[in-house]
Amino acid sequence: MMAPATLTQNSTKLQELIARRRPGWCLERDFYVDPEVFKVDMEKVFMKYWLYAGHTSRIPTPGDYFMFHINDVPLAIMRGRDMQVRALVDVCRHRGSRMCLKPEGHMNSIVCPYHQWVYDLDGNLKSARMMERELYEIDGTLKTKALPFDMKEFGMHQAACKVVEGLIFVCLAKEPPDFSAAEADLKRFLQKQGIAEAKIARAWRYPAEANWKLISENFRECYHCDDVHPQYVKAVPYVSVNRPADSVPEIQAHFARQESRWKAMGLGTGIVPSSPDAYYTCMRAPLREGFVTESMDGKPVAPLMGSLPDADAGAVGFTLYPNFWMEANSDHAMVMNLVPASATHCEMETSWLVNSKAVEGKDYDVEKLSKFYWLTLEQDRVLVNDEQAGVNSRFYEPGPYAPSEIDCERFVQWYLKQISA
Ligand code: FES
Ligand SMILES: [Fe+2]
């Protein structure tokens, strides 16, 4: 009997799905619902690319860790005694038990609960009970025999790990792809924004009942913004697609004026645009005149961060495929990541960063600080959940992207290249 066609990375069915794709139109249903496509996505995208795991302020002292699960890999993001951050695969090298059992915590060493093998904070095996010698009995006498066991061979596996401006990125590929351009731009845009020294004022973890690509596409276009995000469009008016044509010269002039000011302030400016070959995009965007931050009224919601000389520094937007977004204002930053859990489910995590010296209740009100993006992200969460519910239907068929959704098309082209490779 012939086995039913399944989607492996090189299967005919997958190649046919890719070949059938109509440029400028969104993807077929299988890309958003099929568990086999999901497996390919995980292997070809998430197990290959650099992923944002979290902020360094979560693990200030040696032995602090938090868990970051991706696919079947539990990573313990651990601060070592040498202050290095490592991504240790939390799977015991003896018989495989998990060892870092809380979502976050502190350890002086990593002790396996099963047979008590002990690892240091850098993942090296420090002790393995009774593995280097055997006890045996002859004529009522207990003897020992040395065994050929080399502890150096049994350190914890590790993923590649990089800290850039306080942002921790991990990569599970044997040979991680080049990250130097993204790293350089993260440094260039964020160097005065105080991200590396920030603290997390608020974190929000929530599920999204949607395929990760629907979430990525949602963040890649503002065709929906005028109607769904009125407060966002008010603060960042250039994203509007409904604005009158005669407003364009004034918006461009405002952009040019702000860019000159920012350059004079020594801030990173310019645009790294999206393209089918770009794994990240970024820019420093101007806000509405009179707005200095992305808050409901444009007024600061926390003290100035980093070494910014002026609160009027626009908003640095950074997108890194496949799982990282951030918006850095002069007084706070929003950083977020997603972790796909299945073809139709993701775990989302958003953190609001502020100056680490700022005191909650005195220097900032956490509700006021987070309201702007909480509202925006909740609006988006509802949109993509509803979209997935429709895409699940047999009656779903791909429709054409609007001209203002060009970055969705670029994202989809980037994605198809990854799974075709
Ligand atoms: S499984 Fe970890 S010590 Fe045995
Ligand atoms: Fe949105």
Give me the average pLDDT of each 10-residue run along the chain (421 residues).
Answer: 53 90 97 96 97 98 98 97 98 98 98 98 96 88 89 97 98 97 97 97 97 98 96 92 81 92 95 93 95 97 96 97 98 98 98 98 98 97 98 98 96 96 86
13, 5 in Cβ contact below 8 A?
Answer: yes
Mutate to test the pocket of ligand 1, among 111, 117, 131 (most ligand atoms within 8 A of CB): 117
Mutate to test the pocket of ligand 1, among 110, 112, 125 (most ligand atoms within 8 A of CB): 112
Q: What does the pLDDT look like over 343-368, one tens digit per residue?
A: 999 999 999 999 999 999 999 999 99
Q: What does the pLDDT look like over 57-104, one tens digit per residue?
A: 999 999 999 999 999 999 999 999 999 999 999 999 999 999 999 999
Of ligand 1's listed atoms, the one at least distance from the Cα of 97 is 1
Question: How far is residue 58 from each of residues 64, 136, 204, measured CA to CA in Å?
Answer: 8, 47, 14
pTM (two decimals): 0.95
SS3 33: helix
| Stretch (H or E) spanning 286 | none
* Residues in CB range of 393: below 8 A, 6 or more apart: none
**Nearest ligand atom owner, CA of 125:** 1
Cα gap 49→334, rounded to integer Å? 22
Q: What does the pLDDT look like over 224-242, one tens digit per residue?
A: 999 999 999 999 988 888 8
Of ligand 1's listed atoms, the one at least distance from the Cα of 116 is 3
Cα gap 14→410, rounded to integer Å? 20
In this structure, the residues whose C-beta lies within 6 A of any atom of ligand 1 are: 92, 94-97, 112, 114-115, 117
235, 285 in Cβ contact below 8 A?
Answer: no
Q: What end-to-end distance do the CA atoms of the chain give, in Å? A: 31
pLDDT of residue 2: 44
Cα gap 214→180, rounded to integer Å? 28
Nearest to 201 by CA among 97, 60, 355: 355
Q: For tokens 């995009």, what's the residue?
A: 281
Q: For tokens 């921790």, what's the residue?
A: 168
CA of 96 to the centre of ligand 1 (A): 6
pLDDT of residue 3: 45
348, 354 in Cβ contact below 8 A?
Answer: no
